[in-house]
């Protein structure tokens, strides 16, 4: 029954994927489409509003989405140690993220369209996080140690996998962006929460943790 519900969510999401607006298309196709898109900052009031918006489903078969995916990768590569990026961070409120997979050999960068976390472990880790869109901000956050993720690729093929550790943290951080959740706001909401501390970050001391 649960599996059927998840499939239904993906089917409905695919049907509800709205066409890109003229504004979104102008951003995606501005300048050289082989180069990075500028990363939005909370220090700019208009860009901050975009970062706080909830993202819509993306149509994986739209060729403009393929361009966006490619340019997002270039944006991430242009940063100093960034390990993940979400579409709102380049001005597009669509459910697309890039994540560096430290759980795979060679730590490759991979994209994910319409990612959904369908399960989170109760066990949580406490570790440092920063954000490419929030200058000079860094703090400690609780994240589930293990998640189950579902998503599609640019061919519309659906995937499901279990992710844990530092990579799971990156996924949770980037998917938060798709719901307009910034870590600067998240810290305020967590002040009254209590968790069992488990220090299981394996990469946090080696990376800049900027996502």
CATH code of the domain containing 177 = 3.90.45.10
Residue 168 lies in a domain: yes
Q: Is residue 99 part of a domain?
A: yes
What range defines the domain where residue 198 resides? 22-203
Q: How many residues does the chain have?
A: 211
Number of domains in the chain: 1
**DSSP assignment letter at 99:** E
Flag whether 10 is in a domain: no
Percentage with pLDDT > 90 across the chain: 79
Nearest partner of 172 among 204, 196, 148, judged by Cα = 148
Indicate whether 44 belongs to any domain.
Answer: yes
Q: What is the structure's pLDDT at 121?
A: 98
Single out the catalytic residue among 110, 164, 174, 190: 174
Read off the pLDDT of residues 58-74 as tens digits, 9 standing for 90 and up: 999 999 999 999 999 99
Tell me if residue 174 is catalytic: yes
Q: Please give the model's pTM, rounded to 2 decimal places.
A: 0.84
Rounded CA-CA distance 17/37 in Å is 23
Intervals of the chain under pLDDT 70: 1-16, 188, 190-211
161-206 per-position pLDDT tens digit: 999 999 999 999 999 999 999 999 987 676 665 545 555 454 444 4
């Amino acid at each position: 029954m649960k599996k059927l519900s998840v499939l239904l969510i993906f089917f409905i999401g695919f049907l509800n994927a709205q066409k890109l607006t003229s504004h979104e298309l102008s951003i995606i196709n501005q300048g050289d489409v082989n180069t990075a898109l500028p990363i939005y900052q909370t220090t700019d009031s208009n860009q901050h509003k975009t970062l706080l918006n909830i993202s819509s489903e993306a149509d994986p078969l739209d060729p403009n989405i393929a361009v966006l995916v490619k340019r997002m990768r270039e944006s991430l590569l242009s940063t100093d140690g960034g390990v993940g990026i979400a579409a709102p961070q380049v001005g597009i409120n669509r459910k697309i993220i890039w994540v560096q997979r430290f759980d795979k050999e060679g730590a490759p960068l991979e994209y994910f369209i319409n990612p959904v976390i369908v399960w989170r472990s109760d066990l949580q880790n406490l570790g440092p996080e920063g954000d490419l869109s929030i200058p000079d901000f860094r703090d400690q956050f609780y994240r589930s140690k293990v998640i189950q993720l579902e998503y599609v690729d640019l061919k519309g093929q659906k995937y499901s996998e279990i992710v844990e550790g530092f990579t799971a943290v990156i996924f949770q951080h980037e998917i938060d962006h798709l719901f307009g959740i910034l870590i600067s706001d998240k810290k305020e909401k967590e002040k009254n929460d209590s968790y069992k501390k488990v220090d299981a970050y394996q990469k946090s001391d080696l990376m800049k943790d900027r996502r």
